[in-house]
Structure 1
Amino acid sequence: MTLSQFMHVKTYPRKISSLSSKKYGNTVDKIVKEAIRFKGSCNHVKVPQSVRLISGKPLEDLPKRLEKLLKDTGQNIMDTKHGGLKKRAVRFDAHVLLAAVYSYPVKIGKVKHDAMDDFFKDCIEFHQNQFGEIDSAVLHIDESYFHIHVYTIDANAKRLHPGFAAKEYKKIDTTYTGTYRSEMSKLQDLFFEQVSSHHDIARIGPARKRYTRDVYLSIKKMLKSSQLIILSI
């Protein structure tokens, strides 16, 4: 059976905007609790197991590190009332976490761990080169496929996301031909060239007809639980 790459990325805020139509979307706190298997936050997993830190710092402390980062990087603006400068805090609905999932497309019982470890090492390197410093990366071992969640924190995480960056750039340069969809497709191509192709993994889209039923259902469950944007275009 052809192995197919599975990589997703999305950005998250600390709080959902009051103007958003999605009042109950995922936030930094929810994402972290689900990833660390906090009780009541991972109901899609039958028997939650402890996560394994494979890069960066302990994931459970990410929110604290994020708050410090945002406090230190707040924008300096003129204080018209008292004079001088004051810090403008980063909005709570600003997207400040970029989260990616990289899955090893071999059933857990058939995994050759040396090969999987090499694959995830390349995923970590790819993520750091593409999105910047990794705050934390953890391995999940309690679902159908081993996969890692990798996190980067930034005062403006959307600028790190190729799709959102393309939309913003188009506002500045109307001649720019890139779109959200095209840039995400390029990202998938890049991941294939730099990672998947070196591990005999194909770059295949998420169409159901290209997967066996068990692989498709596993992917569907991962998407439902994490509400991640599909990149395989």
Structure 2
Amino acid sequence: MSCPGFGELNIPSSRAFWDDCDEDELENLKPVEKLQLKFDGEPAGEVAPVESELLVVIEGVNVTHFATSLLAKDSKRLCGIPAKTSSLHWSPSSKQLLAILEEDLTSSGEITELLLPYAKLAKKVVTLTLKPKVEFKSEDIQLYRDHIAIVRGVGVDQKDITELEAPNFIAGVAAGVASWRDQEELPVSSFVIYTDKLPLDATAAQPVIKLLQSVGVQSCSPNYVPPRKENSYLYM
């Protein structure tokens, strides 16, 4: 007998239907692979986390080129993070860590666990989430129509940063790391930038650069050059 269909009532075993599945069906299920940081040339799990002055977690869609070219060019890539093209970088001179995370909410809990040893040793943690401006919710949304970006903070004591208002929220690894630091009563600052251009172009990158420089990211360049786009082959 195979598993009953979804939504089908089957008393007394209607809770999850596992009792009604054939044993051979369960045997054919493949075990879920445990996510690990992918260190270059090193065995997984055998590299001790570094102690940093500042850990920056930047998360969003299509953030890899921006973060690696603007923030990670003066640092060394420590490892790959198992979420698309995500990676962790270390700057020995400034003792700053940079976690670049392509948004992948399906595995954000596991990835947060992988980064917690680094978050635990960091003296200061800053998280930054990049989102499309269309996701920002406000009763006064018309006031922000011409803004390049909307910058908000979560528990941030800065006069020029407005607190993120409901129903807006942050999620993913940035939220997980920030929540853990807050529960442990360790210093953490969380920001979210709603921008009208993702991936970032030279203009849309300026509010992000300004924020990163203000929180002490030493390797942040003042200008960003986006990747060159291929010709579209469209004829006028």
TM over 0.5: no
So what's the TM-score if we normalise by structure 2? Answer: 0.26
TM-score, normalised on structure 1?
0.26
Larger Rg: 2
Tell me which of the two structures has the higher relative contact order, counting C-alpha pairs closer than 8 angstroms and 6 or more residues apart: 1
